Copies of this chain bind each other. A is one copy, B any other.
């Protein structure tokens, strides 16, 4: 199968001149198979196009922000109408209040909202609020969980340029392990400001885990008993699991929740929501940003939140995710593979059994990308309301062909190593040795 990448490679070469390493951050394709386009020209619904004319059904949704489809008419109309009035002005517009009112009315634990821009802004604000509220220092965070890219939370493997003291007051526990939480509270008695938890375990390179109810309830209880705050980092998963904070699914209300990505269907806004008793501390901290009070993303948030509240958006996303999961499961078996499809169907992680070096996964997604399906080999994916039954059917036709190719490769013992991962694993092994 011919795979033309000339335009994309030309763009990468141009980028090398003016952007360090050619690209950076979570959208860098350096760790993906080389067939993946680095640059995306267009998006519509759940479809994206690269600069070489390839169209893909996109299962990354911009790494989350796309909940209702790229270029969603209702959301974009709200943005257009607001841009005519104004965006960043010398004060916020009334739509900020409407966004806060709408958001707070939808999230059970929330009495108030504060808006910011990055997901990292929201998690950092929650940390500062928890310290202001409790007068304590220590934040408990699950080992390997991603809570952003500031020096205090950037993943250790990527912490070049940060200092050990940036993380000096962060203590790690094991997700889904109530005992490790209990131990941490004992070891740092009276010093814990907050427990951070992702709504489910969505770390890269591993199977996702739903939260055990026992763990979630223990987190709540330990926080209550010790006067600490429970913070749910719903930046990645918010509104893909529930029309409420994601831990409503396990019956646990946090004190603070962090939101971002999809709350304005791709327009730049994030938020911290909180319970009444943290309001005073939240009002005493100083946080701000040049673009935080921009009105257009607030208008996009109001439009998106109302669709979340009033439509069957969630059931449609789940149905699409379920159809994909069921279809892939059957296909894999029929070709002699076992997939590990973990986490909620609307945010699937798809890995292969017996694939410690990710070679099967890499070979398979490479065949998929060449057939117009953009899957991710080690990061959880995202579905949207724009993923129609037709898109799923079309996807499954491509993935079936990809499994067929993979089966032939395996038969010939010709599945190549997942080359792009080599430098990362090398760095990882070096970091273990360093410890």
Residues on A lying within 8 angstroms of B by beta carbon are 11, 14-15, 17-21, 23-27, 29, 37-44, 48, 50-51, 58, 60-66, 70-71, 76, 79, 83-94, 96-97, 100-101, 104, 111-114, 117-121, 124, 127-133, 137, 149-152, 154-155, 158-163, 165, 168-169, 235, 260-261, 266-268, 270, 274, 279-294, 297, 374
Contact = CB atoms under 8 A, between A and B. Distances in A.
Contact of A162 (B39, B128, B235): B128
Nearest to A70: B86
A125 to B, nearest CB: 9
Contacts of A289: 25, 117-120, 149
A285 B155 CA distance: 11
A132 B112 contact: no
B282 A20 contact: yes
Contacts of A282: 20-21
A124 B151 contact: yes
A261 to B, nearest CB: 5
B163 A151 contact: no
Contacts of A235: 290
A83 B23 CA distance: 22
B84 A71 contact: yes
B285 A91 contact: no
A129 B149 CA distance: 14
Contacts of A23: 92
Contact of A24 (B42, B133, B287): B287
The 10 lowest CB-CB distance pairs between A and B, nearest first, are A25-B288, A132-B161, A158-B286, A21-B283, A20-B283, A128-B161, A43-B86, A268-B291, A20-B282, A40-B91
B131 A40 contact: no
B285 A161 contact: yes
A255 to B, nearest CB: 13
A114 B130 CA distance: 32
B155 A286 contact: yes
A314 to B, nearest CB: 20
Nearest to A120: B289
Contacts of A155: 286
B97 A19 contact: yes
A205 to B, nearest CB: 15
Contacts of A71: 83-84, 86
Contacts of A89: 40, 42-43, 48, 58, 62, 70
A290 B134 CA distance: 30
Most buried by B among A37, A124, A289: A289
Given A26-B288, A89-B43, A119-B290, A112 B19 contact: yes
Contact of A94 (B41, B86, B293): B41
B128 A65 contact: no
Contacts of A11: 94, 97
Contact of A149 (B97, B111, B119, B288): B288
Contact of A163 (B25, B39, B169): B169
9 contacts: A19-B113, A20-B114, A25-B286, A70-B86, A118-B291, A132-B160, A150-B150, A165-B168, A165-B169
A130 B160 CA distance: 11
Contacts of A62: 88-90, 290
A112 B20 contact: yes
B169 A93 contact: no
A76 B92 CA distance: 20
A410 to B, nearest CB: 29
Nearest to A104: B18
A129 B21 CA distance: 14
